[in-house]
A = this chain, B = another copy of it.
Amino acid sequence: MSDNISIKVTSCPLKLEDCYAFVEDPSCGGISVFVGTVRNQTKGKDVKRLDFSAYEPMAIKEMKKIAEESLAKFEISKIAIHHAIGKLSIKDIPVIIAVSSAHRKDAFRACEYAIDTLKETVPIWKKEHFESGEVWVNSHP
């Protein structure tokens, strides 16, 4: 892993301060952070909890690819992409992306690019548990 990329897929709780500490840098003027949190509702139905599973080695490769593309596309210094797997409750954190840059626009653009791309390409799946049963998100037969 290069010095300016931190990738993690873990069953431990994600820590905002870890991502922040990784990307902060004396040459940086701005840090953009996106934190995904578990909502209590999906389409009006109460969510009890979520279960995230991953194809872990491939997920790490795809997250690394997103980080490298972000560094290539935008003028940024460092990027951290951390994803949690396993059972999560309301307000728990499935994902944190942190990006530092000399100028803030690049940090915002890169952070948004990274989360948008993660949601399209990284092999991680979310099962929502409701009172009435459970559903694999995005998987309609």
Interface residues of A (CB under 8 A from B): 16-17, 20, 24-41, 90-91, 100, 102, 104, 107-108, 111-112, 115
Q: CA separation between A91 and B21, bound complex, in Å?
A: 11
Stoichiometry, as copies per complex, reads 2
Partner of A91 from the list B16, B26, B90 (CB cut-off 8 Å) is: B26
User: With A16-B20, A17-B16, A34-B32 as given contacts, are A26 and B90 in contact (CB-CB < 8 Å)?
Assistant: yes
A129 CB, nearest partner CB in chain B, Å: 15
Partner of A33 from the list B24, B28, B33, B36 (CB cut-off 8 Å) is: B33
| A interface, over-half SS | mixed
Q: Are A37 and B24 in contact (CB under 8 A)?
A: yes
A122 CB, nearest partner CB in chain B, Å: 15
Q: CA separation between A71 and B62, bound complex, in Å?
A: 35
A14 CB, nearest partner CB in chain B, Å: 12
Partner of A39 from the list B17, B29, B32, B107 (CB cut-off 8 Å) is: B29
Contacts of A32 in B (CB 8 A): 32-34, 111
Contacts of A108 in B (CB 8 A): 34, 108, 111-112
Q: Are B26 and A31 in contact (CB under 8 A)?
A: no
Contacts of A28 in B (CB 8 A): 37, 39
Partner of A36 from the list B17, B29, B91, B115 (CB cut-off 8 Å) is: B29
